Structures are given as structure tokens and as C-alpha cells.
Copies of this chain bind each other. A is one copy, B any other.
Amino acid sequence: MTPKLEDVAKRANVSKTTVSRVLNNRGYLSQKTIDKVYAAMKELNYHPNAVARQLYKNQTNLIGILLPTVANPFFGELTDTLERLLYQQGFKVLIGNSMNDPKKETAYLNQLLSKQVDGLIVGTHNQGIKQYDYQDLPVVAIDRIMNEDIPIIASDNYHGGVLATTHLIDRGAEKIIHTNGPLTLETPSQRRRVAYEETMMAHNLTPLTYTVDFNISSEAKKVVFQKLLEEHPDVDGIFAANDTDAALIMQVAAEFGRHIPDDLLLVGYDGTKLIRDLIPSLTTIIQPIEAISTTAINVLKQRLAHEDTEKEYILPVELWPGTTG
């Protein structure tokens, strides 16, 4: 059996209280006692049981992060950043990758509700879980609308949409298509669509948004993009929903003999460090992952402290020029 506090106490000829005090250096201790206790701990190779502590304190120092998948560059970098910042503040991270499967998401939520985590950061793209009863679990949402009580941290999707669309128009595109997820999803990223459509109309251009399901395979996505190019041979600009989609479009365009940027302009979205390293030529909008993470954690900590928070936090985006758009 792993040694417990009581074993250390016996070994050092002191009480459990004293060992606990040494462990948390609280109260008055004589140096002699401290040394004795440390010696006993070392001899037994003692490690305090975190779960017992958690039970007493009613606090786990664990934060749950619920996202579609960490295999996607945006969510990967987001998770990485959140983990790094949370770790600095004494939290560890429990992840749940829902793959946007409502069943898995609900299961995770239910389980995490059981005092497993002190707080929750949610960034999945589901509908219908809005009515969820979060009891007293502090939750913040990243780029997702949950319900009235849950603060949203998002980047400035509207401005991102304006930036991308304006950039394409400035560079001479006129027949511009935007790809985005289904309208039924009430995500803040739908504001990109609105921004795109309003910007187009402000320039007397006709907006056309192509719906591409988030969750289909890249092979299936390529088929959609092939169809897009077939149906709209005159398209001269594409504002893609994200960078990986944009990369697929680059490939499909090449198959169709379209040359980017000469006869087709392309702008992506997200602008992760990884994509900028791998495909620096891709024009894209950079989401402020660091700022999103910092804000999400700050707001969550306010919630943990039962302080009031804003309903929504919008962080600025930035254009990565590249050469495709």
C-alpha cells in the first residue's frame, strides 16, 4: 500500500495534524519536528493523496476543456495555450473532445458536473444543449452561444469577415464565394457570414454563401469544393471558413487548372502559428488565441470567485497578408 499521512506520523512520532502542518507549512512548528517529518516522508517515499484533499476542500484545481478535437490546429493551439496559462495558475486540465457529437458532449457535461472539475471551458459547436442545467459549475464559452448565463469569449468575427471580404474586393475579385457552417448553428462565427454579405452588398456585389458541414471528412469536403468550382466557373475569390478548408480548396483549384492568386483569390480563417509555418503564402485572418485564452481564464476565475462578468468579450483579429488573396 502507498503510505498515508498516518504512516508518516507514526514513523516520526508525531500526530497526523503535525504532519499535515508540515506538508502545508501552516502554524508554528519547531525546526526539529519539521526535519523529523520530512525525514519520515522521504524514508517512506510519501506523496499526499490529492483526492482526499480535494474531498475535504471541495475543490479539485481541475478545469475541463470541451472542444471538438485537439487534432485541428486551431483547437490544438487553443488547448495548448489554455493548458500553459492554467498550469501557471495552479490548475490542471481535463480534456474532452466531443467531435461535435452531441451525445458525447452531453455525457461529458454530465460527468464533469459531478464536482470533477472546478470550472469548464466549452467550445464545441452543438445545438440543443443550450437548456443544460449547469447548477453551480462555472462555465465560459469560447466562440459558442450556450445560454444567457454563460459568458462568451470570441474574436471579432464580424470584423474578420469585413477584413477578408474587403481584402478580396480590393484585390479585384467580384464574384466572391464564402464557405461557412450550417446556419442552424448559432455560433458567433456566423457573424462572419453576415459581415461578408453586408460588405458584398455595400460594394454592389452579390453574396453567395456555400454551406459546408464542419464534421465531414476532408475527402468529402474536397467533393463539395469541386462542386463549388463546377457550379461557379466564374468565381474569382473565395473566403473560406478556415485555413484547412482553404488548403483543400488550393488543391482542388489546382486540379481544375485554376491558378492562385492569378485567376482565383483565396482567404482562409484562423491563422494559427502552425498554418503560418506550413503554408505562409495563405492569406488569412488571425484569431488571437493567446488573448482568447487569457480572457477565458480570467472570466472563469471571476466566475469561480462569484464575481459578476460581462456577457460577451470580443477580441481583435488581424490580417495575415500572404500571397493567395
Contact = CB atoms under 8 A, between A and B. Distances in A.
Contacts of A244: 274, 277-278
B93 A80 contact: no
Interface string A83-110: 1100100001111110100001000001
A298 interface: no
B51 A55 contact: yes
A305 interface: no
A227 interface: no
A294 interface: no
A215 to B, nearest CB: 14
A49 B114 contact: yes
Interface in A229-284: 244, 247-248, 251, 273-275, 277-280
Given A76-B70, A97-B83, A51 B247 contact: no
Given A136-B2, A248-B277, A278-B244, A51 B60 contact: yes
A70 B83 contact: yes
B97 A94 contact: no
A269 to B, nearest CB: 15
A49 to B, nearest CB: 5
A135 interface: yes
A69 interface: yes
Interface string A47-66: 11111101100001010000
Given A70-B79, A97-B80, A248-B277, A47 B113 contact: yes
Interface residues of A, number: 53
Contacts of A273: 71, 218
Nearest to A247: B278
A318 interface: no
A206 interface: no
B73 A274 contact: yes
B45 A133 contact: yes
A226 interface: no
A111 interface: yes
A178 B269 CA distance: 34
A248 B276 CA distance: 11
Nearest to A133: B45
A33 interface: no
B92 A93 contact: no
A7 interface: no
Contacts of A111: 50, 92
Given A51-B60, A76-B70, A95 B97 contact: no
A115 interface: yes
Given A62-B94, A71-B77, A135-B2, A115 B278 contact: no
14 contacts: A47-B135, A49-B115, A51-B51, A51-B60, A70-B80, A71-B273, A72-B274, A79-B95, A93-B94, A218-B277, A247-B279, A278-B278, A278-B279, A279-B279
Given A48-B114, A71-B73, A244-B278, 12 more contacts: A2-B115, A47-B110, A50-B111, A51-B51, A71-B76, A71-B273, A73-B76, A79-B95, A93-B94, A94-B95, A247-B277, A278-B278
